[in-house]
Amino acid sequence: MNKRQRKKKNKKTLKNNYVTIPIWTETTEEKIQLGYGRNKMFFGFSQVGRSHQYYRENCQDKVAISFSDSGEFVVAAISDGVGSCSCAEMGAEIVVREAVSFVLNKVNKGEFTKETAKGIIKGALEIALVAIEKASTQNEVDINEYSATLTIIAFNGNELFAGHVGDDGLILLNQKGQYGLLSTRHKGKSKSSVYPIQCKDMWEYIYAGEVVALVLATDGVLDTIVTSPDENNRVFFPIIEKAVCSNNDSIHEVKALAEEYYAYFINDDYRTVVSDDITFAVISSTGKESQRIPPSFDYHEWKVQNEYYAHDKTALREIERNEEILLKNLPSISVNNN
């Protein structure tokens, strides 16, 4: 099968206020999901980690992103199957598929509003959980073997509605140029443990307005972008800077940006720092809707804080070594860095 046959493209023509608006979506050979239209763009992908490749295991991360029928909303979900569970990959695939399908259905029927959003997002988590319970029963496998995280979002170009459970992350950039981690990392007593979707008391609903862009990331990549809660969840903004600050005027520019990030994360240098599966997805406003105060990142202050949080000189040298590696081959553009 040649490359052209393996690529999928789709163009929808939408009518809104009597204006014909094209919406482009595409899935590349590398299974990068792309979309552009109605003043919004997105891209997202998963990559298998070297730790799984070593044992000849599949990628246990999953991502799904889609426009609603009208193009008013982008709906997306990411999940990380818990690595110690035998059906983790299937669990992640099920919860992502079911959650996105449920929310899209509500949006397309005109039932998704600011007032109903919380109930619908919670319903998406419920539907996803029921789906893995059904799979568990049908296959006569303990449901815990399907354990997976889930972050589900709906974004209309300004407002963000999200549901979350697990140690994945949702990073937001708003119109004031402010950015930060919006979700909670639901980890157990051991940092290697996590609360999966079965832990209903950990389910989190998130709403934010004046949103310009957001990043969804599973823990493998999230931990290189955002420091631990003990270090105040500081965001190492240079990694996501180009992803959330680029002016994308066509599906071709979105594709070029996505492929640049795909190559960065799969590069040998980056993989010396991260051996886990990774999922990285970006949803952003474009055009006038993307106008914002330029975000800033003070690298000198960042290094000062690294020194403050590091337990000793050995730990600080390890942090500095990893950051040096992360900055190699990094997609970059110039913003207001001090």
Report domain extents, the chain.
12-337
Average pLDDT score over residue span 197-206: 97
Q: What is the per-residue pLDDT for 290?
A: 64
- Answer with the residue of higher pLDDT: 7 or 297: 297
- Give the pLDDT band (50/70/90) at residue 198: very high
Q: What is the per-residue pLDDT for 55?
A: 65
Q: How many CB atoms lie within 10 A of CB 2?
A: 7
Q: What is the per-residue pLDDT for 287?
A: 72
Distance CA 209, CA 218 (A): 23
Q: What is the per-residue pLDDT for 237?
A: 96
pLDDT at 334 over 90: no
pLDDT at 75 over 90: yes
pLDDT at 281 over 80: yes
Average pLDDT score over residue span 61-70: 95
Instruction: Please say whether the beta carbons of 73 and 107 come within 8 A.
Output: yes
Q: What is the per-residue pLDDT for 335?
A: 43
pLDDT at 20 over 50: no
Query: Nearest-CA neighbor of 220 among 134, 279, 160?
Result: 279
Q: How many CB atoms lie within 10 A of CB 325?
A: 18
Instruction: Name the DSSP class of 237.
Output: G
Query: Nearest-CA neighbor of 66 among 21, 20, 12?
Result: 12
Distance CA 225, CA 238 (A): 9
Average pLDDT score over residue span 12-25: 50
pTM over 0.75: yes
Average pLDDT score over residue span 291-299: 87
Instruction: Name the DSSP class of 288.
Output: G
Q: What are phi and psi of 75, to 5 degrees?
A: -115, 130
Average pLDDT score over residue span 242-257: 91
Instruction: Please say whether the beta carbons of 97 and 135 come within 8 A.
Output: no
Give me the architecture of the 12-337 domain, per CATH. 4-Layer Sandwich (3.60)
Q: 219-237 pLDDT, tens per residue?
A: 989 999 999 999 999 999 9
Q: What is the per-residue pLDDT for 249?
A: 84
Q: What is the per-residue pLDDT for 27?
A: 79
pLDDT at 257 over 80: yes
pLDDT at 256 over 90: yes
- Give the pLDDT band (50/70/90) at residue 57: confident
Q: Give one DSSP letter per residue of 81-117, joined into a string.
A: B-TTSTTHHHHHHHHHHHHHHHHHHHHHTT---TTTH
Distance CA 40, CA 214 (A): 12
- Give the pLDDT band (50/70/90) at residue 51: confident
- Give the pLDDT band (50/70/90) at residue 59: confident
Query: Nearest-CA neighbor of 302 among 230, 238, 229?
Result: 238
Q: What is the per-residue pLDDT for 192?
A: 65
